Amino acid sequence: MSKKVAFVGLGVMGYPMAGHLSTAGHQVSVYNRTVAKSDQWAAEHGGTALATPREAAAGAEFVMICVGNDNDLRSVVYGDDGVLAGMKAGSSLVDHTTASAEVARELHAHCKELGIAFIDAPVSGGQAGAENGALAIMCGGEQDAYNAAEPILAAYGKNVALIGEPGAGQLTKMVNQICIAGLVQALSEGVNFAQSAGLDVEKVMGVVGGGAAASWQLSNRYETMARDEFEFGFAVDWMRKDLSIVIDEARRNGASVPVTAMVDQYYADVQKMGGNRWDTSSLIARLKKFS
């Protein structure tokens, strides 16, 4: 059933996600800080580009947000021009930003006072997952709110699940980033080791990738890593932002994340090498530089 949906934040993830909502038959209005991007999206998909988050959210049954961090999120939610100023009781706010669990709980409490449902719903799968409508979406919130939002999320989510109470989606995304950090470092070491040993990397990874070492990172990144190509997927700057959220949360909940903290510093080295916009697989460039 067609719904009136607003999408705020048309970056490399939000742009195709909003497009899938339009393709699914929903009436989509969009807002982006860079006006040219929202105008481009509207011209391409036939939706409506609005000048403020409030205008985009006005009358929408569902408002989806995908911006950079906690501060960006608050800037488009609160205030006279924020989405909450345009939303009505009974509507739903779904946040796809990778942010802190703290801000998710804050927004849930604020929305509840206004009679608005809230779901924190960070995503995983990268730009390719967004473009192909095959994202993993990890949700936190109340069951009724999730049940209402799930059919909308199906437009771009392949694996969508309610994990728990508000904030649980963000905490699950932190687990995701912890796992990725360790996997990419290990894969970097494996590829670099194979090259240093004079092995045929393609043959090596063809064998180990069919066994217990198999992973998405291995299947999708070893070839470009071996060629020192890092223009794919999630940028180092954004990964460091995510890992800082993980490390802060670990301090609060007492979890030990030594490998994550170490890899965060390795990414700091990549930034010093000028690799801020390289993708996360660029850890191998650091290995080669400092080996």
Strands 92-95 and 62-65: parallel
Strands 157-164 and 4-8: unpaired
Tokens of 234: 């999630």
Q: Respond yes or no: is residue 173 known to be catalytic.
A: yes
CB 125 within 8 A of CB 136: yes
Q: What residues contact 286, with CB distance under 8 A and at least 6 apart?
A: 188, 266, 269, 270, 273
* Catalytic residue selected from 3, 173, 203, 288: 173
Rama region for 187: left / alpha / beta (φ>0; ψ in -120 to 50; rest):
alpha
Eight-state DSSP code of residue 281: G
The set of catalytic residues is: 173
